[in-house]
Structure 1
Amino acid sequence: MNFLLHCCPVHHVMVLLFTTMVAMEFGQGCTQITTCVPGQPMINCSVVTHDSNSDPPIQITSYVLENIPPNSVIYCLNDSAFFDTPGTVTYAASSDFTINDAINAVLLIRSPNREADDQITGRVTAFDTPDQSEANLQVIIIDVNEFPPEFIAPDVLQHSLRFTEGERPTNSLVGRIQTSDVDIEDSESTVSFRIKGNGGDEFNVTRMTVGPISFSNLLYTYDSPLDRERIAFYQLTIVAVDSISPVMTSNPSLQVNITIDDINDNAPQFMGDHMFFIPEGLEEGVFVGNVSASDPDAGENATITYSIASSTFDREFTIDSTSGILRTSSFYKDLRFADNMRRLTVEVMAEDNGVVPLNNRSVFTVVVQRPVRFTNNIYMFELVENNNPLVTVGNVSASSPDLVSFYYHIESPGSDKFTIDRNTGKITVQESLDRETSPMEMFIIAAVYSNHSDLSSTAIVRIIVIDVNDNSP
């Protein structure tokens, strides 16, 4: 076999490398096509072979990109390829081809489509009267990446899937993905995938081969089993990407929603304040405090029922099983507390409503406090009228039997004319008083526990305004 012209092997990928063609091999008028340029819209790279065992003995093979325009040059004729001593040579071509006599070239009549045919064949006949010679003409169509990959039968991978938390999908397999790409013969091996969306980094698409069959699997790759409390709902967007330049991606993408069903794997957890303050002698049903617990599970697994497991006297409090509100019982109002018995404990159990319920217990402290006591119920002070502002009127005094901090404040009225130091009880007048307008000022003061405002005591303050001779008859 004798090669007259050679170019490098051709693969179906976009980037093509061909050797430069020798200009003398082209017929006159066809020298404008001299090289095979990577990515060039019209590529003509031909190989001519002679084989004495074939009929006819001349084989012309031309490589062209699909979708080149109709009537593109695919081979430049050379008379000496057909005759040893050519004279006046004319040519004819079979269907799909035509001869351009002006440039002595073979033209492909139609624009080739690689997805319809991977090659077009025909014959070229050369006439040198009275002789004639024929050559087989084979046009190999090189694929251009013009179609994106597509998902096949997306119902194979259900759009909405459900798993139970605490498990891993079998062999981590979530579902199977099938794609096709009309540009690529073995698309399964060349298409890759991108996963976006909520929890997308916990999944991967892996190509697997079983015997002669290849397929792509969506796998759960996170280190830990599915956990609804961590992610309850995955919303994945899967995009298929081909491997041919220019890269194309699937549109539309594949949407996969995965719901994680809850199991009762969390016990209720108590939160909030664990200490309440109340006075002694309260009637039945008075609010003590609100016990609070939460459960990160869902549905009945997160519905909590409260109960009292134990308490100091076993029956001084009741609890609402739904809200967790502690109240005094009828037994509480009759209790008399010594100084060393003013801290009561209540152990509360919070239990969820799961099929196999889980519970937790916590101890709460109820401090029984005595109210703040003023030294006097009524405080009397005198102040001469026409006084200067910010003059001290007097001091009030209170004490806590339980040595708990408290503060003073003016309740009503009088806060516009007087102030009281919240720590010392010193009362100060803010403006000049006039006996003729108001001969006596009166208001209420309170001493309030910092940790429980309901345990306050009050006293009355009366200020007699003393007359001065500041008016003419």
Structure 2
Amino acid sequence: MKLGKVEFCHFLQMLALFLCLSGMNQAELSRSRSKPYFQSGRTRTKRSWVWNQFFVLEEYMGTDPLYVGKLHSDVDKGDGSIKYILSGEGASSIFIIDENTGDIHATKRLDREEQAYYTLRAQALDRLTNKPVEPESEFVIKIQDINDNEPKFLDGPYTAGVPEMSPVGTSVVQVTATDADDPTYGNSARVVYSILQGQPYFSVEPKQGVIKTALPNMDREAKDQYLLVIQAKDMVGQNGGLSGTTSVTVTLTDVNDNPPRFPRRSYQYNVPESLPVSSVVARIKAADADVGPNAEMEYKIVDGDGLGVFKISVDKDTQEGIITIQKELDFEAKTSYTLRIEAANMHVDPRFLSLGPFSDMTTVKIIVEDVDEPPVFTSRLYSMVVSEAAKVGTIIGTVAAHDPDASNSPVRYSIDRNTDLERYFNIDANSGVITTAKSLDRETNAVHNITVLAMESQNPAQIGRGYVAITILDINDNAPEFAMEYEATVCENAQPGQVIQKISAIDKDDPPNGHQFYFSLTAEAANNHNFTLQDNKGDVTPYLSGAVNLY
């Protein structure tokens, strides 16, 4: 006959109750027969009560009060002259006593897990005098445990992690179940563990609850998470024991057991030749089944004719290889490049080196596309010179530009008038010859910086720019000027030969060897013999002075 949980508990209750009743004589209160407590009211000899521990089965399910035991004194002759009194824990509220017979009953359902025992005090009184006939003494009612509590995982559900590819027997996590039943009595609190779900990948140690790996080479990339159901059963796992379960989510953590792999053996990208330096040409990515640091990689160009023209770096966020231009592209010079690119893991696990190299190679071909480029001047800056005395129409120099495209379209020239507002110069539209258009004055503007435009005849939108610096050469076209208006004073008693004023002159021209000034008095001043002028005879000092002497 198979018993359910409730029926089994009732069976245990009745069995324990039978055992308690069969041992009632040992549980009754008796006194020692050798020494009377009263002798004729004159001699008082102390007699001790002999107490045995009372037991009561927990979780009693009956409707009548549960018999616990009996208090009895040998003084009691059964004539009703003795009454029994119960006090202490649970007296009257849980335990009642028949004051005539001393029978003790429990009136409530008891739970050992709430309170394991009760300490009470018993008295036997003379009903007429209300005086004790026995000394008051304590006794204990112990609540007898039954298996009424299933094991519980107080810390569940659990989560844990274990590295993939771990060897069999690697510890994952320990689970612990608690049983509220009495661990000192029987097997009600003796728990064993078993795994209900999670085989054949994991196992559990029956006594300690340690979960371990049970299969070798579990691969995170194939399955990264497992849900285990662990059972804890009391009564040492025997039939009739109570059980509880918990779940354990085990995640396989990543190890670097996968090398990077390019999805394709070759790639091809088209880029215009006008793409600026540092521009991104392409993004390529090697796939790596690992995650986190184990999937981090670096890229490098190991071979090809594009070394030095292109470079590759890694995007830390996406782990892509970014190919960028290092030098300007020119379709007319080279139309394609081939790069041999390697992707390699940055953090290699030595345990898996036997699987092969943790790197991969691919080929990237870059096709340079022709674009309609503007004309290009033969020099980035032209330097020219012309005398300020040059006549209008004088040829100063020539600029030259050409169409770099294969079509080699004819070029027409013009001057950007924003750089020649006064229109000092002209340029021949076909030949690029620059001539003077106005008289030049070095003293007004010594250098003219102009921009020359070169425009494709077939596509006027394509315009190249050249830069011309025209230096104006000086001629002696300016007379000397005195530096200032001079006014001199002299004392009437000045001595002959005394210097009374120094004078100097300036010239707007800029002769290559510097200025040489000669000073003299005008004709009308030369007839005045009171003053003389002393010249320095062409001293090359920019500012010369003359001395006037008074005789």
TM (normalized to structure 1)?
A: 0.42
Q: Which has the higher contact order (CA 8 A, sep 6+)?
A: 1
Higher Rg = 2
Bigger fraction of residues in strand: 1
